[in-house]
């Protein structure tokens, strides 16, 4: 049965929720599901903005048929070719063989690579700044390369200020009927999934997001329609501030995340002692994460959130404990930068992990690694307590506005 929402007088959400998928991109856990958003404009011509994943294909077709009634589908705008949005292109063509497809040159190239069979006569290639009228509505096409793939663009309705923002401003999490940002408590219920989505999916491409934000600042946006998560119709400052910080790698909060890798609880004990000392000295925004238990996508998200990171790790096979190594590799791959880092290392006979972690951090941009370091040889000692006090002082000192 159809399940749609009206956004404006002539624009409908025709997407759907995915509750069954455990891992987005087969990597990132999505316990709250995810939505695949698609939008249908009923103007003199009818225009579909992006499609959806296979998983909700039946719902999607029912939605489109319900909204179109007896009308044909004239155009399909593909802002982003990744299969979670483009999988249904061929099915749409099967249902509406006269539909014309508007997208970028690279997007059509990718469609070919993915094996889509599309008549070149039905394709209309657009570039940055092109516009097209569909009746009352005139759409401006704006390139958005690497947000999140190179072919991506966004579409802006010059008539009513609706921005079809592709992956930008999206989030993990299923909508469950609540389409608009003001129908949910975003800061309470959605921000963690939005941050985890941004940082893990688009986080690497901060400069490209900055470029898109600059373009967006020049247009009068009234509604933002992303391809995942809620549609935004107010409170843009909140969302833009988050995107500005994330894409500039500026922490959201002054705080300490302690990521620890512990085999028998001794490194965890050191992490707890450190947390206690920080709180006792007035820094209570302290959070501990067992690197073996907390999914790396969550660790990455929190890394974008906090200003200070303490890496506390046991030595393993004369190297970095594997889950900690995985976290560091993900940090590097996602271009994490501008953080203050402290190191706590442990090794019962050949403590290598501290220098190896620092070496990896030095391969990242603008990481301030504190000189103060705590070295454990199996478990905490009284001397370690003194080292820990110095480390706490160094962390707090680095937090002072200079
Ligand atoms: Fe939601 Fe880059 O696809």
What is the residue extent of each domain of the chain? 5-248, 257-399
- Is 28 a pocket residue for ligand 1 (Cβ < 6 Å)? no
Which residues neighbour 155 within 8 Å (Cβ) at sequence distance 6 or greater?
Answer: 49, 77, 79, 139, 140, 141, 142, 163, 164
CA-closest candidate to residue 375, choices 399, 339, 348, 396: 348
* CATH number for the domain formed by residue range(s) 5-248: 3.60.15.10
What percentage of residues in the chain have a pLDDT greater than 70? 100
Q: What is the pLDDT of residue 218?
A: 87
Ligand 1 centroid, distance to 315 Cα (angstroms): 37
How far is residue 148's CA from residue 111's CA, in Å, rounded to a whole number? 16
- Is 84 a pocket residue for ligand 1 (Cβ < 6 Å)? yes
- Is 85 a pocket residue for ligand 1 (Cβ < 6 Å)? yes
- Is 148 a pocket residue for ligand 1 (Cβ < 6 Å)? yes
pTM: 0.96
Q: Give the single-character DSSP code of 53.
A: -
342 with 308: CB under 8 angstroms?
A: yes
Fold of the domain built from segment(s) 257-399:
Rossmann fold (3.40.50)
pLDDT tens digits, one per residue of 310-320: 999 999 999 99
Q: What is the pLDDT of residue 401?
A: 74
380 with 269: CB under 8 angstroms?
A: yes
How far is residue 228's CA from residue 196's CA, in Å, rounded to a whole number? 13
Ligand 1 centroid, distance to 128 Cα (angstroms): 20
Count CA atoms within 13 Å of residue 322 on its CB side. Answer: 3
Atom 3 (ligand 1): residue with closest C-alpha?
82
Mean of the pLDDT values across residues 21-41? Answer: 98
H or E segment to which residue 132 belongs: strand 131-133
Q: CB burial class (10 A; 0-12, 13-18, 19+) of residue 402?
A: exposed
Ligand 1 centroid, distance to 82 Cα (angstroms): 6
Do 5-248 and 257-399 agree at the fold level? no
Mean of the pLDDT values across residues 275-297? Answer: 98
Q: Is the pLDDT of residue 4 over 90?
A: yes
H or E segment to which residue 372 belongs: strand 368-376
């Amino acid at each position: 049965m159809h399940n749609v929402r009206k956004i404006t007088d002539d624009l409908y959400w025709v997407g759907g929720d995915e509750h069954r998928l455990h891992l987005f991109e087969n990597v990132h856990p999505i316990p709250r599901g995810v939505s695949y958003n698609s939008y249908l404009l009923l103007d003199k011509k009818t225009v579909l903005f992006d499609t959806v994943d296979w998983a909700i294909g039946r719902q999607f077709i029912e939605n489109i048929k319900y909204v179109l009634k007896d009308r044909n589908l004239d155009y399909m705008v593909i802002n982003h070719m990744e299969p979670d949005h483009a999988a249904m292109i061929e099915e749409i063509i099967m249902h509406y063989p006269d539909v014309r497809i508007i997208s970028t040159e690279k997007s059509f190239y990718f469609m070919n690579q993915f094996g889509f069979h599309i008549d070149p006569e039905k394709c209309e290639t657009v570039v940055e700044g092109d516009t097209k009228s569909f009746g009352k509505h005139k759409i401006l096409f704006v390139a958005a390369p690497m947000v999140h793939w190179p072919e991506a663009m966004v579409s802006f309705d010059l008539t009513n200020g609706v921005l079809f923002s592709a992956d930008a401003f999206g989030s993990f999490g299923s909508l469950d009927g609540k389409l608009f940002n003001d129908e949910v408590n975003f800061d309470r219920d959605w921000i963690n999934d939005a941050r985890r989505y941004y940082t893990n999916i688009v986080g690497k491409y901060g400069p490209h997001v900055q470029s898109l934000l600059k373009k967006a600042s020049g247009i009068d946006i009234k509604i933002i329609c992303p391809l995942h998560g809620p549609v935004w119709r107010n409170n843009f400052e909140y969302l833009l501030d988050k995107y500005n910080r994330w894409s500039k790698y500026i922490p959201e909060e002054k705080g300490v995340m302690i990521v620890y890798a512990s085999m028998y609880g001794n490194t965890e004990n050191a992490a707890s002692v450190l947390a206690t000392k920080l709180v006792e000295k007035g820094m209570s925004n302290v959070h501990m994460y067992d690197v073996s238990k907390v999914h790396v996508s969550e660790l990455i998200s929190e890394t974008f959130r906090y200003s200070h990171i303490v890496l506390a790790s046991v030595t393993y096979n004369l190297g970095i404990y594997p889950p900690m190594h995985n976290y560091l590799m993900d940090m590097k791959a996602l271009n994490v930068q501008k953080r203050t880092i402290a190191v706590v290392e442990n090794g019962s006979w050949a403590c290598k992990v501290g220098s190896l972690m620092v070496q990896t951090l030095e391969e990242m941009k603008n990481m301030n690694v504190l000189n103060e370091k705590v070295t454990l040889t199996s478990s905490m000692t009284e001397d370690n307590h003194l080292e820990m006090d110095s480390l706490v002082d160094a962390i707090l000192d680095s937090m002072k506005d200079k």
